[in-house]
Every structure is written in structure tokens, then in C-alpha cells.
Amino acid sequence: MKTDTKHAAIVVIAAVVVMAAIFIGVSVASGVSPPQTVVESGSMQHGQRSHIGTIDTGDMVILKNKNKLEIRSYVDGYNTGYERFGSYGDVIIYNRTVGNPVIHRAILWLDYNGDGTWSAPSLEKYPADRWSCTGGSDYNRLSGSLTLKGMGSEKNLTVSLSLDRLVMLDSGSGFITMGDNNRGFDQPDSVAGVKGLISYEQIRSVAWFEIPWAGVLKMAWNGKLDVVNTHAPNSVPSLIAATLLMIFLLIGISFLFDQRYYMKYEKELAERINAPAPLFPVENEEG
């Protein structure tokens, strides 16, 4: 096998080993099996194109076990400056009664008081001009219609939720949730299979970080490439560009290995050429 071929094989094997090590490490740290999911809708997008740092159609999201961190809502994030994926608070993956699990942002945790009212301790430090409730301004005894302002990917939506309807649905304590690209909360009935608040038991995992465009191939295999092109038309070109960049990077690393070998070879050859001639013993002739 030629030396340059050997070096190329070493680079490829090393890349595979590194990727395998990363996958194993992420799986262990994630605490979720499998540790990834592919986003197949545009409900979390920030705009009509895919962006690094937000959850877009065709992205792969690496998940984290819900027991390994404290889930912080949008309101909590606003109060503390905690942001994830382009907005405040954590993005959770939760079960619903029909369809696939939903990946949306946790907006506010509500505790049911048992007497037709709700408690939302996070609203204590939330600006008064960003929320209101028809049943009064006491965040420990909320009723009627709760309204939050500055919602959505553009932070310009005013969204309301009937707390009395939640009581009628016999909803227990849980999170109000919403997709960044949606115009209303998931509760109740805005998302199929979502009636009441999202309890902690319904939460499967928490979005940890995204790998842009990495789920496009799976969606193409499942015949859903048109969904990607509709919601994030730059995802396929971006994936192709990223793949070519990776290939060129591997070629470049292999080239550097070859250059190092040839430089070492030329140095050794020059040292042999410039080395002084060996001295041989000469016998004296008598006569």
C-alpha cells in the first residue's frame, strides 16, 4: 500500500474513532436512549429559513434527561436572563394523547390550588406590564383569563389562556407550553392531543443542543423532503455545503500528513547525501 494511501486510511479511521467516542460520550451524558431526535415541523423556527442556534425543520436535537437538570420556564428565563435556542427558558419534549411527542418551549409553571384558582410563583418577579389576569393580580390566586405579552419568536405576540377552562378539564399542575413559531399556547386543544397543562410526568426529556441540518437525510429517506423545503429551504444546500467542507477538511489533514512524511524523507535523504565518505584502511606496499 502506498504511503499516501496509508495516511488517508489513518485519517479516515481516526475520524471514525473520534465520532464513535463522541457519540458514546454524548449518550452517557445525555441519559436518554436514543439521545437524539429529528425535528419534523416548523413550530419552533425563528423565520422562514434555518438558523444555527434555533430549532428548525430538519435539525437533529440532542436530548438531556429531565432528572439531570432543573427545567426553567420562559418566565423564569426572562427573570434571570437564561436563554436556550433563541429565546428564554428551556425547550421540552413531552407526550400527548395522540401523535408524536411535541418539542415546544416551557412557558410558565402553574400550581392548582384545588379551589378553582392557580398559583404561579415565577410571576412574582416578572414585569407587571408583561402579564395580566382577569381574576386579579395576585399571582398566588389566579383565575379567569391569563395573558402574557411579548411572546413568540419575534417577541411581539399577546397570548391568552382560560384558566377556568383548565379547571373544567380537570387539569392538574404543569407547564403552559408554546412553539416559538406558533401564535398561541398549546393548551387547551391548540395542539392535537394536548388538553391540559404538561405535567412533569409527561415530559420525556429536555432539548440540550442542536446539530443543524443533520436530520435532513432521515426526512428525505422517509419521503418528507418537501416538508424541509417548505419550512427551511436553505437546509439542504447548507447540509451539502457542510458535507463538502468536512470532506475537504479530511483531505487537507491527509495532505498535511503526506507533507510531513515527505519533508522527513527529504531531510533524511539530504543527510545521507551530505554525509562524509567513509574512511577505509589503506595497506602500505613494501618492495
- DSSP codes joined into one string, 42-96: STT-SSSS--TTS--TT-EEEEE-GGGS----HHHHHHHT-EETTEES-EEEE--
Q: How far apart are CA 179 and CA 181, in angstroms?
A: 5
Please name which of 232, 199, 196 lies closest in space to residue 216, comparing C-alpha atoms: 232
Q: Looking at the predicted structure, is the pLDDT value of residue 19 above 80?
A: no
What is the per-residue pLDDT for 16? 75
Q: Which amino acid is at 145?
A: S
What is the per-residue pLDDT for 281? 62
CA torsion sign for 13, 14, 19, 20 is positive
Q: How far apart are CA 207 and CA 32, in angstroms?
A: 11
Q: Looking at the predicted structure, is the pLDDT value of residue 287 above 50?
A: no
Q: Looking at the predicted structure, is the pLDDT value of residue 222 above 60?
A: yes
Average pLDDT over the chain, rounded to an integer: 88
Residues 6+ away with beta carbon under 8 Å from 192: 96, 98, 99
Cα-Cα end-to-end distance for the chain = 59
What is the per-residue pLDDT for 122? 97
What is the per-residue pLDDT for 119? 98
167-178 tens-digit pLDDT: 999 889 999 999
76-88 tens-digit pLDDT: 999 999 999 999 9
What is the per-residue pLDDT for 1? 46
What is the per-residue pLDDT for 28? 78
145 within 8 A of 125, measured Cβ to Cβ = no
Q: What is the mean pLDDT of residues 65-85?
A: 96
176 within 8 A of 197, measured Cβ to Cβ = yes
Q: Which amino acid is at 27?
A: S
Least confident of 26-40, 171-185, 213-227: 26-40
Task: State the pTM of this model.
Answer: 0.83
146 within 8 A of 133, measured Cβ to Cβ = yes
